[in-house]
Structure 1
Amino acid sequence: MGLALALPLSGPASGQTAQSGKPLLSPEVLFVTSTGFWQEMEDPNALLDPQGSATPDGPPSGPKGYYKLIALRQPDGTAQIHLQQIALEAQGPRIVTSAELEEFTRMHAYVTDIRPENSDGITRQPGLFATVYLKTDPQQTETESWTVLIDDIGDIRIERETN
């Protein structure tokens, strides 16, 4: 049994909105990966207490959310990678921060994929771990793998993977 997908022959032009009133995704979006999580603690000193005695009873009640990595195609075919921190709120998700990861822009990278550490949606530790696959020359046959890591205190590292 096959899967049929009906696409309209004509649709909204770039810059217009869907029927919901929300803007459509830009055609420059190559990849989007949502992964990892963050949570602000009411008492940041609890992280510094190795005995756990400063940890309040009950679940943490500070703001929380997840991260999103977005690859945007540039006119020359290379890509910019943007990192967003998304807050989960009662009214819906909200972008807290959004920044271009200039390390990738300086490479003039042709991004071929972005993948989370795992695809089951379960992350045990706060932070982010994702792999960006890219080529610095479109004629390359092999891709390079770069990791984007955010630790539990929010420090960001971008490193080339080595085997």
Structure 2
Amino acid sequence: MNRRTLLLGGCALATLAACGDSGKFITYDGPVVTQIQVFKANRMMYLLHGDEVLKKYKIGLGGDPIGPKQFEGDGKTPEGFYYINRRNPNSAYYLSIGISYPNPQQVAFAQSQGKKAGGDIFIHGRDGKNKGRGKDWTAGCIAVKDKEIREIYAMVQDGTPIFIFP
């Protein structure tokens, strides 16, 4: 092989590699999402701009969803007021955005009980084993379909408030 063939082959491979995951990220130029509301009992999540519902999603929750998350490993999804505070484009669950659980009071309560409050609570897609709907399977996170987390990831900015109701 000569240099020209190697150079052209390398450019072609780089171009193909860059295209491989182009469908994972989408753009959004609609109204700003000003808050997220999650209703655990109804398994629904709403993205709002003021009082207007922009999108709604059916969700899956932690494996033991009734009641607020208190301790690491309890299988519960938190309840209360939080913020979106990070994002993970390389999530094991397709894409994910982080929720600011736990707050200082939750940490103090868990410590008073000799336990940890837990953490790493996200809104995320589904892995290959958990594609089905209608069951709560996460360790405390909020799960949606992969195509839905693509929308959410594009629409929701870090700092957006999230209210999680029982």
The TM-score, its normalising length taken from structure 2, stands at 0.30
More helix by share: 2
The TM-score, its normalising length taken from structure 1, stands at 0.31
Higher relative contact order, chain-length normalized (CA < 8 Å, sep 6+): 2
More strand by share: 1
